[in-house]
């Protein structure tokens, strides 16, 4: 048990090589499919369609042989965010409207919780969960290289209108690649500070104290990131990196029949979700 292991809780950006059918899909299909599912989740406002979406996401994770507990751990570390959103939603929901729609379940001065606002809260939280699981799922099954390659190929047609496809894909790659590294960095700095008597334990619920404790970490994290970026630039230039112009790839992406099937399934599912959203 360690108070300092953060990398275990940052699940976005961590690839899990389970070699499942999902892992072997073309990254472009995963990106487009993921984006479609994401859009579907964002526009779901009914409980039924959201439940369907969540089931779908969880089944994709299961198909990818990702241990469920591991995926859920990523949700767990975002819990303060969930709490904050929940509180905001509950407290800022327009009262007049809700009072008209359902009875107040609980009232305290200007704050009011109604059945309607609770329902909307569940929707909102469900949506957040689905979002996090979806994005984590994408990075569990797709290596950073594949993601970068897929993004670049998808954006390539836009290069004619001036969009720098390769550079954008590179930005994506580096961001994903650096997330776990920054987590490790933060762990190291916190350990060093704890070794000199800083108090990081105790007060899991003391948010003000916890927030104040993060300030001494921000500067060193920033400085380290900048230094890393500089080192990376030098390393890339030393290996003759000159940008994306005329750059070829060792592995060519070729869509296989199964990729089209998978994409078709996703499109069909999103259509169903759309219908369910308005029907219920």
Partner 1 sequence: MSESANGPGPLIKVRNLHYTYSRGTPHEAVALRGVDLTVERGETVGLIGPTGSGKSTLLQHLNGLLRPQSGQVRIDGHDTGDPRADLRTIRRRVGLVFQNPEDQLFERYAGDDVAFGPRNLGLSRSEIRERVCWAMEAVGLDFEAFQDRLTLSLSEGERRRLALAGVLALKPEVLVLDEPTAGLDPRGRKDLLAWLIRWREEQEGTIVLASHNMEDLAQLANRLYVLVEGRAVLNGNPRKVFSRSEVLAGYGLETPLAVSVMHALRFRGLPVRADAITIAEAAAEIETLLNSR
Instruction: Compare residues 50 and 183 and give the one whose CB is closer to partner 1.
Output: 183
> What is the distance between the alpha carbons of residues 146 and 64, in angstroms, rounded to a whole number?
16
Interface with partner 1 (CB under 8 A), residue from 99, 125, 165, 189: 189
Q: CB 160 → partner 1: shortest distance, Å?
A: 42
Tell me: does residue 177 bind partner 1 (CB under 8 A): no
For partner 1, which stretch binds (CB under 8 A), given 48-56, 76-84, 183-191, 262-270? 183-191
Interface with partner 1 (CB under 8 A), residue from 160, 162, 195, 245: 195
**Using CB under 8 A, which residues numbered 50 to 109 contact partner 1?**
67, 69-70, 73
CA 86 to centroid of chain Cα atoms: 19
Instruction: Compare residues 195 and 248 and give the one whose CB is closer to partner 1.
Output: 195
> What is the distance between the alpha carbons of residues 203 and 72, in angstroms, rounded to a whole number?
24
Map residues 198-227 to x or -, x wherever contact with partner 1 holds by CB under 8 A.
Answer: xx-x--------------xx-xx--xx---
Cβ partners under 8 Å of residue 201, min gap 6: 3
Instruction: Considering only the C-alpha atoms of the chain, give the largest distance between any 2 of them, rounded to a whole number of Å.
Output: 68
22 three-class SS = coil
Q: Which of 139, 97, 133, 138 is nearest to 116 (CA)?
A: 97
**Using CB under 8 A, which residues numbered 9 to 28 contact partner 1?**
14, 16
| Residue 202: burial class (beta carbons within 10 Å; 0-12, 13-18, 19+) | exposed
Instruction: Compare residues 70 and 156 and give the one whose CB is closer to partner 1.
Output: 70
Tell me: does residue 143 bind partner 1 (CB under 8 A): no
Q: CB 3 → partner 1: shortest distance, Å?
A: 8
Question: Beta partners for 187?
Answer: none
Q: Which of 111, 112, 109 is nearest to 101 (CA)?
A: 112
Instruction: Compare residues 5 and 167 and give the one whose CB is closer to partner 1.
Output: 5
Q: CB 175 → partner 1: shortest distance, Å?
A: 20
Structure tokens belonging to residue 74: 């990523």
> What is the distance between the alpha carbons of residues 235 and 229, in angstroms, rounded to a whole number?
10
Positions that interact with partner 1 (CB under 8 A): 1-2, 4-5, 7-8, 14, 16, 67, 69-70, 73, 188-189, 191-199, 201, 216-217, 219-220, 223-224
């Amino acid at each position: 048990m360690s108070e300092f292991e953060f990398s275990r809780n940052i699940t976005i950006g961590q690839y899990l090589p389970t070699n499942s059918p999902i892992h072997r899909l073309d990254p472009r299909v995963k990106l487009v499919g993921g984006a479609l599912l994401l859009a579907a989740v964002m526009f779901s406002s009914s409980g039924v369609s959201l439940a369907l979406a969540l089931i779908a996401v969880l089944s994709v994770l299961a198909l990818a042989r990702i241990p469920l507990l591991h995926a859920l751990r990523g949700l767990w570390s975002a819990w303060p965010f969930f709490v904050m959103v929940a509180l905001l939603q509950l407290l800022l929901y327009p009262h007049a409207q809700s009072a008209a729609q359902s009875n107040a379940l609980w009232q305290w001065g200007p704050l009011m919780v109604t059945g309607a606002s609770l329902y909307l809260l569940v929707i909102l939280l469900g949506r957040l969960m689905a979002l996090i699981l979806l994005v984590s799922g994408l990075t569990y099954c797709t290596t950073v290289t594949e993601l970068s390659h897929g993004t670049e190929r998808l954006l390539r047609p836009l290069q004619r209108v001036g969009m720098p496809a390769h550079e954008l894909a590179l930005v994506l790659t580096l961001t994903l690649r650096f997330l776990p590294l920054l987590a490790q960095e933060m762990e190291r700095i916190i350990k060093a500070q704890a070794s000199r008597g800083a108090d990081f334990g105790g007060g899991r619920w003391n948010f003000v104290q916890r927030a104040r404790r993060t300030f001494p970490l921000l500067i060193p994290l920033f400085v380290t990131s900048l230094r890393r970026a500089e080192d990376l630039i030098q390393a890339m230039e030393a290996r003759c990196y000159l940008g994306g112009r005329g750059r070829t790839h060792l592995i060519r992406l070729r869509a296989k029949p199964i990729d089209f099937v998978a994409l078709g399934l996703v499109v069909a599912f999103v259509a169903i979700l759309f219908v369910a959203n308005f029907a219920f």
